[in-house]
Amino acid sequence: MTQASETATRSASKSVAGKTVAVVGATGAVGAEMLRCLEASSIPTGTLKVFASERSAGKRFKFLGKEVEMQVLTDDAFDGVDVALFASEADISQKYVPIAVKAGAVAIDNSSAFRMDASVPLVVPEVNGNLITPKQRIYANPNCVAAIMVMALWPLHQAGKLKRVIASTYQSASGAGRPAMDELEEATRAYLKGESYLPKVLPHPYAFNLFSHNTTIGEDGYNGEEQKVVKELRKIMSLPELRVGVTCVRVPVLRAHSMAMTVEFADKVSVDAARTLLAKAPGVKVVDDRAKNHFPMPVESSGQNDVLVGRIREDISDPTGHSLALFISGDQLLKGAALNAVQIAEKLP
């Protein structure tokens, strides 16, 4: 059988009497990736409902060989929906997730609206997929940094019991959506032409520059992104006392976030043991070639489902030998958002 015929057969099998799936915010950067991930997933999508802004209503596209029309979100939009994927802002999710659940759907929300709600699991399937149960109707998708970071931390925690994480992030434009990605491209073109460019989306010049993550700074000096990472790592891994220090920085990269981490364990984990554990971990790819100085890079993690992990070495500042340093890179739009949401949906009972 040819690849084309295999694809056609797979598409046809998914389209027969399958689930009714809704995607909210389908025209955004995350929403567009959700549709691609959904099409490639094992979810038997028989009917797809797609919701976007009024200016996108009526637009058509192909999904599993069938034509689908963009619709405007309304209070009765979720009638008959089995699974609702939200790639929307928190205010939209806060309003429509309860409506979707009341209509009988299971809601998987990518916004911050429900992440710290004690009644809502914050799920990364490779870490705490056991929280996906028949009775649960709402699931929260983590912050992109937390989702990517935990992919490397969790396998190591199984061996050494995490005590402390110190991290610096190198976050791409995709984390602020398509408008920020467009601004980076426009600002770069202007810079190379010697022209001035006034930022419209982000607070500082973006081309050939980096700056503290563009969220509000709290009284403690930490910005909103950093606060999310601390709280969400603890919740995902069920480690409420985990010590976390993080500095989040926006860098002029279009897509994929990278992170430098120093990790302290209760029990010693050797470099070789860490490399072996990470190589076996689902959703992780070890890129750690010291001879060629080849380690995780956003240019290589962009478009990849796996989180790349490398620069695995002892932390020479810790005389106890209980700390490791490593560097990771993962696609913010995929494992940091859309892919993780679809993976949750795939595991629904």
Residue 11's nearest CA partner among 34, 37, 35, 45 is 45
> What per-residue string of b and e applies to 100-130 under the rule 16 or more CB within 10 Å gives b?
beebebbbbbbbbbbbeeeebbbbbbbbbee
* Residue 257 annotated among the catalytic residues of the structure: yes
Q: In three state form, how does the secondary structure of 84-103 look? A: EEECCCHHHHHHHHHHHHHC
CA-CA-CA-CA dihedral for 316, 318, 322, 326, to nearest 10: -50
> Which entry of 157, 213, 257, 322 is annotated as an active-site residue?
257
Q: Annotated catalytic, 144?
A: yes
DSSP string for residues in 274-317 = HHHHHHHSTTEEE--BTTTTB---HHHHTT-SSEEEEEEEE-TT
Residue with tokens 């209760």: 266
Active-site choice (37, 144, 157, 322): 144
CA distance readout (Å), 53 to 35, 119, 320, 332: 16, 30, 55, 23
DSSP bridge pairs for 101? none
The candidate with the shortest Cα–Cα distance to 172, out of 286, 113, 262, 250, is 250
Pairing of strands 323-330, 19-24: unpaired
Active-site amino acid positions: 144, 257
